[in-house]
Amino acid sequence: MTVWSAAGQRAIQRCDTLGAAPYSEAEGQLFRRFLTPAHAHAIEAVGGWMREAGLTTHIDPIGNLVGRSKAARDAPALLIGSHIDSVHNAGRYDGPLGVMIGIECAAALARRASPLPFAIEVIAFGDEEGSRFPLSMMGSRALTVPLGEEALEQTDGDGVSVAEALRAFGLDPAEVPAAVRPPGQIIAYVEPHIEQGPVLEAAGLPVGVVTGIAGQVRLIVRFTGEAGHAGTTPMRLRRDPIAAAAECVLAIEQICAAGPADLVGTVGRILPSSAAFNVIAGRVEMGVDVRAANDPTRDTAVEAISREIAAIAARRGVAVGLERAQTLPASPCDPHLVALMEDAVGAVGVSPLRLVSGAGHDAMIMAALAPTAMLFIRCAGGVSHNPAESATPEDADIACRALLAFIERLAADFKGFAP
Ligand SMILES: [Zn+2]
């Protein structure tokens, strides 16, 4: 039988507690949006757990909950965190598990014989998912740049602005720029998070070391052919944009499969101008998502995809227009912290597997402020953003111990803050 300490079990149980009313806005499922009563209840509960772990808590001007260890007021801090908001009909561990693991580490460190050379701050970001307002990751963004009028004037589905929601939450929108952390305060940001993918489970490993968050390009491809009658237009006279799109889907799959393992390309949508059985569509719009651990790999693939799309369209006599709708740069984790995390994972008896995060996280925003590291925790079937999301107390416990080993290594390494 596997033996584990109470830490992992407590972390999982606390996530489970947060999975229902009053910590959820929706009956019978988990939905916790930024600056709602459910968010306020979650802050109350998580704040209580932070204080039990010996942390002093406060709510920052954007509604993030912060717990700080006993240390000199001006001592630089290691920030451990994740988010406590959720998507609609969410799982219980995406976000909260990282916060709970941070609290367990803080509790263990409070019992340490000699004080750490830096403070520990555990942060529970109020918004990462963007499930209430259009802009996502407002919690971490507010720490890195002063959020201006544009951000505060955004409205939710009921027409309530961020500024109004902050006021209803007991916060002052005019104070939001004060949430920015000055340089020299934070030595590093580390985020434990469920993997939200199947790689660790397939490798039989409880945790994995994240090397970075993939950069993403979104392409909108518009094919224009010639609409026609499905019965009367001979095959050789057709200029069918759906057939051109279909050939492109397979080409994109081939190009990405032939690249490095972290390169992924997806055609997530194909919208023909006609959806009738008996019509050759005149136009098709296709949405392409390409991601890789580094921007050159991704951009090389995007160039190859663009050339191939142009060639296929030309061969088929179909006009094509290509638009880059979104470019998000890759966010590599700090190489030195990645090496420390690998060593820490090895020290708790787990073979340290390196992996890339295909999904976005607060760490990619925090990278503007401090070196970042992430530790992934196995989740059953790679299922996430779904009530079936599942992680085990054993794995959570290994994550707690690996993170503690990481912090000990960081402390041994720490020679004062060099911005
Ligand atoms: Zn998340």
- Are 320 and 223 in contact by the 8 Å Cβ rule? The answer is yes
319-325 mean pLDDT: 96
Task: Please state the pTM of the whole predicted model.
Answer: 0.90
**Single residue among 308, 328, 348 that ends a domain in this structure:** 328
pLDDT at 2 over 60: no
The pLDDT score that the predictor gives to residue 184 is 85
At a CB cut-off of 8 Å and minimum separation 6, what does 262 contact? 214, 292, 293, 297, 356
From the CA of 97, how far away is ligand 1's center (Å)?
Answer: 9
Burial class from Cβ neighbours inside 10 Å (0-12, 13-18, 19+) for residue 159 reads exposed
Contacts 24+ apart (CB under 8 A), 339-342: 340/373, 340/406, 340/409, 340/410, 340/413, 341/190, 341/209, 341/373, 341/375, 341/402, 341/406, 342/209
From the CA of 83, how far away is ligand 1's center (Å)?
Answer: 6
From the CA of 386, how far away is ligand 1's center (Å)?
Answer: 12
Give residue-wise pLDDT tens across range 260-301: 999 999 999 999 999 899 999 999 999 999 999 999 999 999
Question: Percent of the chain scored above 70 by pLDDT?
Answer: 98
Q: Are residues 48 and 197 in the same domain?
A: yes
The pLDDT score that the predictor gives to residue 345 is 98
From the CA of 96, how far away is ligand 1's center (Å)?
Answer: 8
The pLDDT score that the predictor gives to residue 22 is 98
From the CA of 287, how far away is ligand 1's center (Å)?
Answer: 24
The pLDDT score that the predictor gives to residue 417 is 58
pLDDT at 418 over 70: no
Q: Are residues 199 and 232 in the same domain?
A: no
The pLDDT score that the predictor gives to residue 326 is 86
From the CA of 365, how far away is ligand 1's center (Å)?
Answer: 13
Q: Are residues 104 and 81 in the same domain?
A: yes
The whole-angstrom separation of Cα 311 and Cα 390 is 45
Q: Are residues 111 and 182 in the same domain?
A: yes
Answer yes or no: is 419 within a domain.
no
Give the angle subtended at the CA of 198 by the CAs of 290 and 30, to the nearest 5°.
Answer: 95
From the CA of 193, how far away is ligand 1's center (Å)?
Answer: 7
Q: Are residues 10 and 118 in the same domain?
A: yes
Give residue-wise pLDDT tens across range 103-161: 999 999 999 988 899 999 999 999 999 999 999 999 999 999 999 999 999 999 999 99
pLDDT at 368 over 70: yes
From the CA of 103, how far away is ligand 1's center (Å)?
Answer: 17
The pLDDT score that the predictor gives to residue 7 is 96
Answer yes or no: is 418 within a domain.
no
- Residue list, CB under 5 A from ion ligand 1: 94-95
Answer yes or no: is 207 within a domain.
yes
> Using N-to-C axis directions, what is the helix angle for 335-347 and 393-413, rounded to 10°?
120
- Are 276 and 207 in contact by the 8 Å Cβ rule? The answer is no
From the CA of 94, how far away is ligand 1's center (Å)?
Answer: 5
From the CA of 24, how far away is ligand 1's center (Å)?
Answer: 16
Q: Are residues 131 and 201 in the same domain?
A: yes
The whole-angstrom separation of Cα 100 and Cα 384 is 18
Give the distance between the most distant pair of CA atoms in the chain: 85
From the CA of 25, how far away is ligand 1's center (Å)?
Answer: 18
**Single residue among 278, 313, 328 that ends a domain in this structure:** 328
How sure is the predictor about 419, in pLDDT bands with cuts at 50, 70 and 90? very low
Among 139, 145, 115, 109, smallest CA distance to 126 is for 139
Give the angle subtended at the CA of 367 by the CAs of 45 and 328, to the nearest 5°.
Answer: 105
Answer yes or no: is 164 within a domain.
yes
2-14 mean pLDDT: 85
pLDDT at 308 over 70: yes
pLDDT at 3 over 60: no
From the CA of 87, how far away is ligand 1's center (Å)?
Answer: 9
From the CA of 418, how far away is ligand 1's center (Å)?
Answer: 30
The pLDDT score that the predictor gives to residue 1 is 42
From the CA of 199, how far away is ligand 1's center (Å)?
Answer: 17
At a CB cut-off of 8 Å and minimum separation 6, what does 292 contact? 214, 215, 259, 260, 262, 263, 264, 298, 301, 330, 356
From the CA of 361, how far away is ligand 1's center (Å)?
Answer: 6
**Single residue among 328, 357, 385 that ends a domain in this structure:** 328
- Are 223 and 246 in contact by the 8 Å Cβ rule? The answer is no
Q: Are residues 188 and 227 in the same domain?
A: no
Q: Are residues 234 and 157 in the same domain?
A: no
186-199 mean pLDDT: 97
392-415 mean pLDDT: 96
pLDDT at 341 over 70: yes
From the CA of 228, how far away is ligand 1's center (Å)?
Answer: 47
pLDDT at 383 over 50: yes
Burial class from Cβ neighbours inside 10 Å (0-12, 13-18, 19+) for residue 36 reads buried
pLDDT at 51 over 90: yes
How sure is the predictor about 416, in pLDDT bands with cuts at 50, 70 and 90? low
CATH number for position 235: 3.30.70.360
Q: Are residues 242 and 195 in the same domain?
A: no
pLDDT at 385 over 60: yes
From the CA of 416, how far away is ligand 1's center (Å)?
Answer: 31
From the CA of 207, how far away is ligand 1's center (Å)?
Answer: 16
61-69 mean pLDDT: 98
The whole-angstrom separation of Cα 196 and Cα 200 is 10
Least confident among 68-72, 119-123, 345-349: 68-72
User: Which range of residues forms the domain containing residue 157?
Assistant: 6-213+330-413
From the CA of 360, how far away is ligand 1's center (Å)?
Answer: 8
How many domains does the chain contain in total?
Answer: 2
Q: Are residues 226 and 284 in the same domain?
A: yes
Answer yes or no: is 277 within a domain.
yes
Look over the chain and give the mean of its residue pLDDT values, rounded to a whole number: 95
